[in-house]
Amino acid sequence: MTIDIPFADAFQIDPSPMWARLREEQPIARVRTLAGAEVWLVARYADVRFVLADPRFSRAAVVKDGAPRVALAKPLPSSLTTTDPPEHTRLRRLVSPVFAHRRIEQTRPWIRKLAEELAEDVARAGDGADLRELFALPLPIQVICELLGVPYEDRDRFREWTELGYSMSPGDRERVDTAMTDMQAYMAGLNTTGLLGELAAELSHDELVAFGVNLLVAGHETSANQIASCVATLLRFDLWEGLTDFELAVEELLRYNRFSEVGQLRVAIEDVEVAGQLVREGEGVMAALNAANRDPRAFEDPDELDLGRQSNQHLSFGAGPHFCLGAQLARIELQESLRALRTRFPHLKLAKPAEELEWRRVLVSGLAELPVVLG
């Protein structure tokens, strides 16, 4: 039986029971994506890692004609996310120094200050303030603009492009295509400073544009969603006031929260056996990070949120060659967001029950709103 993905009960605070059912009863299953493609979905931790790390599962093949698609937008070729080694290795080697742990740590004081300033905007808005709009979204957008050397004044434009780029609403189809073309034209026309300026000498023009689009899209919506989800989860379980170890808490929240309502897509470039099933060359496989992060074979009491959890090898940033380039930056954004908000609003509360919060129907899922009472 083919199951439609996103599942019918997706886009709400608790994971669809389907994730656990598949992981326990059907570790490799046939699913149909919104774009109408039939692909495999693997749900166990070991299988997810295997698919993400094995070179027989390709990202470059995802942009070939006739390849299975997950969402409406067509992925850009020649980008980090749509190349395989050795081309991917070359691109990744060029950009990695900029995202190296030590270099990215230098941005922490600036991100801390930004988080403190945005917390003041929330304070000015008073009770009922929407933390997504006033904090979770502007923080990563400002960070990525600064890092890339993209003007912050243009944020409304690329916020709209990104939302369309991740859209899972079939009615958006035409607007998605226009948004992707506009975004590439914008990047191509930019007089780049910052990181893109540094990379201009190393990358071809097309690669530079693809990289800029990649980072702008990958670097803000994901972090914005996670900032909002982390706050909502902590408030929901009354863990806000007792929060002290931000680094440990962020890792567990990343494991516990969902990143997406689908899996990460790869295409087999030869026949490969996965979870006892022969996957044929040309077939798509989605690696379900969500389901893997709650796999009892990898985590003790996986459905428990344990802020003190040690050796937490969650897969929220992926695994293998495409492991999230911005992982350390995202960690800093999350840690500093929680620190600033917890310090400024020690008695923060949700303004409505977590179960009633609106979710956005997009590829990288997250809250559409986060109204809070400042306390």
Q: Which residues are at the interface with ligand HEM (CB under 6 A)?
A: 52, 80-81, 92, 144, 214-215, 218-219, 222-223, 226, 259, 264, 289, 316-318, 322, 324-326, 329-330
Beta bridge partners of 42: 28, 287
Q: How far is the CB of 206 from ligand HEM (least distance, A)?
A: 16
Catalytic residue among 207, 221, 251, 252: 221
Residue 122 or 330 with smaller CB distance to ligand HEM: 330
Q: How far is the CB of 26 from ligand HEM (least distance, A)?
A: 22
**Number of H helices and number of E strands within the chain?**
14, 12
Catalytic residue among 10, 29, 61, 218: 218
Check if the beta carbon of residue 42 is closer than 8 Å to that of residue 48. Answer: yes
Is residue 230 annotated as part of the catalytic site, yes or no? no
What is the number of other CB atoms lying within 10 angstroms of the CB of residue 4?
11
Residue 92 or 155 with smaller CB distance to ligand HEM: 92
Which amino acid belongs to residue 103?
Answer: R
Which amino acid belongs to residue 81?
Answer: T
- Token pair of 339 as six digits: 């620190």
CA neighbor of 156 nearest in space, from 133, 175, 178, 172:
133
Is residue 35 annotated as part of the catalytic site, yes or no? no
Check if the beta carbon of residue 282 is closer than 8 Å to that of residue 319. Answer: no
Catalytic residue among 333, 336, 340, 365: 333
Check if the beta carbon of residue 69 is closer than 8 Å to that of residue 50. Answer: no
Is residue 324 annotated as part of the catalytic site, yes or no? yes
**Cα 29 from chain centroid (whole Å):** 23
Residue 92 or 352 with smaller CB distance to ligand HEM: 92
The residue number with the shortest CB distance to ligand HEM is 326
Task: Give the Cα separation of 310 and 33 in Å (integer).
Answer: 35
Q: How far is the CB of 127 from ligand HEM (least distance, A)?
A: 28
Q: How far is the CB of 36 from ligand HEM (least distance, A)?
A: 20
Q: How far is the CB of 338 from ligand HEM (least distance, A)?
A: 12
Catalytic residue among 10, 60, 324, 340: 324
- Helix (H), strand (E), coil (C) string for 195-222: HHHHHCCCCCHHHHHHHHHHHHHHHHHH
Residue 18 or 329 with smaller CB distance to ligand HEM: 329
Residue 322 or 342 with smaller CB distance to ligand HEM: 322
**Catalytically annotated residues:** 218, 221, 223, 324, 333
